[in-house]
Structure 1
Amino acid sequence: MKTFVLLLALVGAALCEPTVYFKEEFDDGDKWEERWVESTHKGAEQGKFVLTHGKFYGDAEKDKGLQTSQDARFYGISAKFPKFSNEGKTLVVQFTVKHEQNIDCGGGYAKVFSSDLDQKDMHGDTPYLLMFGPDICGPGTKKVHVIFNYKGKNLLIKKDIRCKDDVYTHLYTLIVRSDNTYEVKIDNEKVESGELEADWDFLPPKTIKDPDAKKPDDWDEREKIDDPDDKKPEDWDKPEHIPDPEAKKPDDWDDEMDGEWEPPMIDNPDYKGEWKPKQIDNPDYKGKWVHPEIDNPEYSEDDKLYAYDDIGALGFDLWQVKAGTIFDNVLITDDADFAKEVGDSTWGQTKDPEKKMKEEQDEEDRKKREEEEKQRKEEEDAKKPEGGEDEDEEDEGDEDEDGDDVHDEL
């Protein structure tokens, strides 16, 4: 009996093991070049990826990743893996992004492709299955893209997910579940979640306004109406301005020369403004008319919005004004908990040392600038003559009280 229970436990554990479709941590030197293929579609405008840990890092080996190395370039690089379908499974796409150049405009997202991707010709118009990751351009665009391709159309998420915009490494995770729900995480913390059908325009609306329905002609939407019994008082109408009763014609006013004198106008204290009848509840008010809806004949339920039959490649297809972004710790799996563990063991282990190293570098730079400024001031002071007077002033002769040069008089 104990043997049977142990066997069941082992089988259960095996069934629960995560499937890793693709994993890349760039930890085997130059061998990454055997797995990744750079696009040549843009020719001379195509930027080059290099392997580096960057200017500051938490671990010199673990933090090595692919970095964009040339400003104002297109970048395209991809890796293939055995194709699979995520039907009936969870799909997790995860990677780290480090904009150590303090990026002003450029992408930091990944694209997932089918297995027939032409890697050498990959470019911005190459069809993809999904796109995920940060995108920054000026102060107005700092978002996380989550784009699904559905029946040939790229669908953008209808929610605004803000990305990280500092210079440190951040972990981005997209989880797509087989119940047509999703979750977006940054640094292993949930920042957004919901239903695919609700947050993307995969399908037309379930209901539409009834084209045959019209608001009745006698439908009264006025909540208040003028009181028919309210009448304007007979003494209501008064002019807004009247001649100043205290004004007097000046004694030196000449009608022939100055024209006929008229007193200046002042605000009329008896002016009451435009009269309006008071408002009362409308006895015929029926409320706001709501257009009735009917089932949309074009709507058809799809319980497999999440599913792709052929997932076989992942790539970075970008444009960057200022290069320096580093991509690392790429993972595609079917287990969200496993992805979290991988994130904790990679990014989670090096994020704090990375920040410490950057802060130490900033402090060293600050001290260097202060020392250079101090030295500059000392050099300027050393050039000045004793007493603080300029040499030109010392060469000039003293002047007498009349402003004449004393030497001229001698």
Structure 2
Amino acid sequence: MRLLLILLLYFLNFNHSLSEIIFEERFEDGWKDRWVLSDWKRSEGKAGTFKHTAGRWAADPDDKGLQTYIDARHYAISAKIPQFSNKNRTLVFQYSIKFEQDIECGGGYVKLMSAYVNQKKFGGDTPYSFMFGPDICGTQTKKLQVIVSYQGQNYPIKKDIECETDKLTHFYTFILRPDATYSVLIDNRERESGSLYTDWDILPPPKIKDVHAKKPSNWDDREYITDPNDVKPQGYDSIPKEIPDPKAKKPVDWDEEEDGIWRPKKIPNPAYKGPWKPKVLVFRFNLRKLITCSIFKHLEHGVQKIKNPNYKGKWKIPWIDNPEFVDDPDLYVWKPIKYIGIEVWQVKAGSIYDNILLCDDPKYAKEVVEEIWAKNRLAEKEAFEEAEKIRLAQEEQGKKDKEGEKKRNRGWRHHKRVLHFCFTVFYF
């Protein structure tokens, strides 16, 4: 039993040794040596800087990240990392972010870059291989950006993935596998998955509709038709409405010389059915059942219809091979990643970036989330609620102070008017 346990631990450690952590940043001692603050927009007075802090509320005040802290600024900072190629490997990118501000409009994403980057000039126009993270603007835009670059063009994911918008820390994880499948996780819970081939318009579709196709002239798409056997019988129109009464008898005293030719009286002809009409159905149930009855759906002006034996279904435009489609079995392969960068613009600042991870092991990324977020989220929530109580109390006190100031000002104005009146009366 002991031997089995030792072997199990060995294989677990062996599997971990095969995985590789390319870059992991928790913004502890020495982080300034790894990150370069860009001067992009600084000459225009529009560049922001980052503050190394745990924020106004945190489970652990010593667990610090980088916070944007000046409103209406562009933020750009980057780190050079060991070159990483995901060919035949799983790529895992993960980080945490906390929006301490009431974010009105701004990004909270991170970029991975492959080409050489002049880090002091890193900015919004710097090409990137991948952009991932929350993007919020007003009440309409609260989505997770997942943008992949391919042959110099950026392709956003076609699916809408909602991001978190509260004021607590959340982990965002993107996993890309060698079979081009992906997963997006928030706080270790999968929010979306699929394939690069289907969820991005990177490659032209392999099949397209044949715009030149036309419905064949002999294509019968009538599901129900009038019963062809329900036709007007031959001679139907010759049937008289009335016929002589066969039971009538000429009176005994009838004198044809005086009374004329005797003709029996007419009676309704039982064979006469009126003008010919196709067969109709007579329903003997309530209107609700009539509306939902499948037979009723196949009536036209009360005429019963039958299944069309020649029905071929609704004609659809056929799909054909797309002549512009060229498959790329290495669609999942990105140019080797060399830099990680934060480049955002925010109306209101206050976002804290932390726990940035690039590796090839989804299990390790999951363990990081469990170690930090799962362990600290309740304590962080309590710290946030306590901070909110203090903030609301301060706001309430501020309102009272303002009201008191207004009352004092009103009293002073009143005394001033009285003094002015007294002075005027005394002087004159």
TM-score (normalizing by structure 2): 0.70
Give 2:361's match in structure 1, choosing from 328, 335, 341. Answer: 335
The percent of aligned pairs where both chains have the same amino acid is: 47
* Residue 47 of structure 1: how far off its partner (Å): 1.4
Instruction: Please state if 1:60 is matched with 2:61.
Output: yes
Alignment match, 1:125 = 125
Give 1:310's match in structure 2, choosing from 319, 336, 347. Answer: 336
Alignment match, 1:164 = 164
* Residue 379 of structure 1: how far off its partner (Å): 10
Alignment match, 2:382 = 356
**Preserved CA contact (<8 Å) 2:81 2:338:** yes
Measured in 2, the distance between the counterparts of 1:373 and 1:35 equals 46
**Preserved CA contact (<8 Å) 2:203 2:326:** yes
Alignment match, 2:40 = 41
* Residue 185 of structure 1: how far off its partner (Å): 0.6
Measured in 1, the distance between the counterparts of 2:74 and 2:408 equals 51
**Preserved CA contact (<8 Å) 2:148 2:156:** yes
C-alpha distance after superposition, 1:315-338 (max 9, x if no partner): 011111111111001010100000
**Preserved CA contact (<8 Å) 1:93 1:175:** yes
**Preserved CA contact (<8 Å) 1:87 1:309:** no
Measured in 2, the distance between the counterparts of 1:323 and 1:313 equals 24
* 1:202-213 to 2 correspondences below 5 Å: 202-210=202-210, 212-213=212-213
Give 2:345's match in structure 1, choosing from 319, 334, 344. Answer: 319
Comparing 215-224 with 342-351, greater Cα deviation is found at 215-224
Alignment match, 1:19 = 20
162 and 207 in structure 1: CA distance in 2 versus 1, 3 angstrom threshold: same
**Preserved CA contact (<8 Å) 1:227 1:278:** no
* Residue 80 of structure 1: how far off its partner (Å): 0.6
* Residue 282 of structure 1: how far off its partner (Å): 7.7
* 1:187-336 to 2 correspondences below 5 Å: 187-210=187-210, 212-223=212-223, 277-278=301-302, 280=305, 283=308, 285-336=311-362
Alignment match, 1:70 = 70
* Residue 74 of structure 1: how far off its partner (Å): 1.2
* Residue 23 of structure 1: how far off its partner (Å): 0.8
8 and 135 in structure 1: CA distance in 2 versus 1, 3 angstrom threshold: closer
Measured in 2, the distance between the counterparts of 1:377 and 1:292 equals 74
Measured in 1, the distance between the counterparts of 2:404 and 2:210 equals 83
Measured in 1, the distance between the counterparts of 2:128 and 2:398 equals 52
**Preserved CA contact (<8 Å) 2:171 2:186:** yes
* Residue 41 of structure 1: how far off its partner (Å): 2.5
Measured in 2, the distance between the counterparts of 1:40 and 1:343 equals 33
Alignment match, 2:98 = 98
**Which letter maps to 1:174?**
F
Measured in 2, the distance between the counterparts of 1:198 and 1:218 equals 36
Measured in 2, the distance between the counterparts of 1:309 and 1:377 equals 62
179 and 139 in structure 1: CA distance in 2 versus 1, 3 angstrom threshold: same
SS in 2 for 1:361: helix
Measured in 2, the distance between the counterparts of 1:10 and 1:171 equals 30
**Preserved CA contact (<8 Å) 2:129 2:335:** no
SS in 1 for 2:331: coil
Alignment match, 2:281 = none
15 and 286 in structure 1: CA distance in 2 versus 1, 3 angstrom threshold: closer
Alignment match, 1:111 = 111
**Preserved CA contact (<8 Å) 2:78 2:341:** yes
* Residue 14 of structure 1: how far off its partner (Å): 3.6
Alignment match, 1:346 = 372
**Which letter maps to 1:298?**
E
SS in 2 for 1:155: strand
* Residue 370 of structure 1: how far off its partner (Å): 5.6
SS in 2 for 1:350: helix
**Preserved CA contact (<8 Å) 2:221 2:314:** yes
Measured in 2, the distance between the counterparts of 1:320 and 1:365 equals 23
SS in 2 for 1:346: helix
Q: Which runs of 4+ in 1 moved over 6 A?
A: 6-9, 225-230, 371-383
* Residue 314 of structure 1: how far off its partner (Å): 0.6
**Preserved CA contact (<8 Å) 1:105 1:321:** yes
RMSD: 3.4
Q: Which has the larger radius of gyration?
A: 2
**Preserved CA contact (<8 Å) 1:79 1:313:** yes
185 and 212 in structure 1: CA distance in 2 versus 1, 3 angstrom threshold: same
**Which letter maps to 1:319?**
W
Alignment match, 1:249 = none
* Residue 312 of structure 1: how far off its partner (Å): 0.8
* Residue 213 of structure 1: how far off its partner (Å): 2.9
**Preserved CA contact (<8 Å) 1:80 1:115:** no
TM-score (normalizing by structure 1): 0.73
**Preserved CA contact (<8 Å) 2:115 2:127:** no
SS in 2 for 1:309: coil
Measured in 1, the distance between the counterparts of 2:104 and 2:369 equals 26
C-alpha distance after superposition, 1:53-77 (max 9, x if no partner): 1111111111x11111211111111
* Residue 359 of structure 1: how far off its partner (Å): 0.8
* Residue 154 of structure 1: how far off its partner (Å): 1.0
Alignment match, 2:136 = 136
